[in-house]
Amino acid sequence: MILQAGTPETSLLRVLFLGLSTLAAFSRAQMELHVPPGLNKLEAVEGEEVVLPAWYTMAREESWSHPREVPILIWFLEQEGKEPNQVLSYINGVMTNKPGTALVHSISSRNVSLRLGALQEGDSGTYRCSVNVQNDEGKSIGHSIKSIELKVLVPPAPPSCSLQGVPYVGTNVTLNCKSPRSKPTAQYQWERLAPSSQVFFGPALDAVRGSLKLTNLSIAMSGVYVCKAQNRVGFAKCNVTLDVMTGQ
């Protein structure tokens, strides 16, 4: 059937269309929180800063008007065996944040990325961002939560070097090296400095425990031995002097 202008049928369709448009204009806009693909798991180095990226969009903007958005934002940290810990919040226009934390952008930009400064190993965990957008009448027009896992890596702390055994000619000694703090766990390497430079490998070297076994000592094995504790974010060194003595 072809509808002619001015017929009852066209008038009915016009009323239905206007009614549906009005309902759509008053419907709730759906909000979605975003985290860039591949950035929901981050690593950073202790002492530095990191940005946890997040922003939100409104899926359906109201076409005939744009009521004032009132976002309620909470960033909190979850760690195994602990209660959730609030890191930053923006509620009723008031920002509350822990020292070293801040938003990267104005919240009016809809970018709610969080900056964490002067990182410590204890800052590792799952950060959850919760955004609840209300209109100026206090009614919610969208709510979403996203998570970002952060692992704070720690370069090896300065290790301590020690000598186990009495270094007489023909005897055996063990050089030990241990860093008190490292994440991921440090690996160890020993070398002897010039003039008789030498880099050691297994089986004399235990790269996990940091020990170096020297057998059947000779005067020529005397010298300064340097241990390097290293992981993928840094290294530190210590040394010990080996002075091989002749027997009495």
Q: Is the pLDDT of residue 2 over 90?
A: no
| Per-residue confidence (pLDDT) for residue 153, from 0 to 100 | 98
144-150-152 Cα angle (round to 5): 160
The mean pLDDT value for 104-114 works out to 94
pLDDT tens column, 119-133: 999 999 999 999 999
Domains, the chain, in order of start with CATH, read 29-153 (2.60.40.10), 160-242 (2.60.40.10)
pLDDT tens column, 188-197: 999 999 998 9
Written as one letter, the residue type at 179 is S
In 3D space, the residue among 159, 175, 161 whose CA is nearest the CA of residue 244 turns out to be 175
In 3D space, the residue among 226, 225, 228 whose CA is nearest the CA of residue 244 turns out to be 225
Q: Using CA atoms, how far apart are residues 75 and 165, in angstroms rounded to an integer?
A: 55
Provide the whole-model pTM: 0.77
| Per-residue confidence (pLDDT) for residue 67, from 0 to 100 | 58
pLDDT tens column, 141-163: 889 999 999 999 999 999 999 99
Q: Is the pLDDT of residue 17 over 80?
A: no
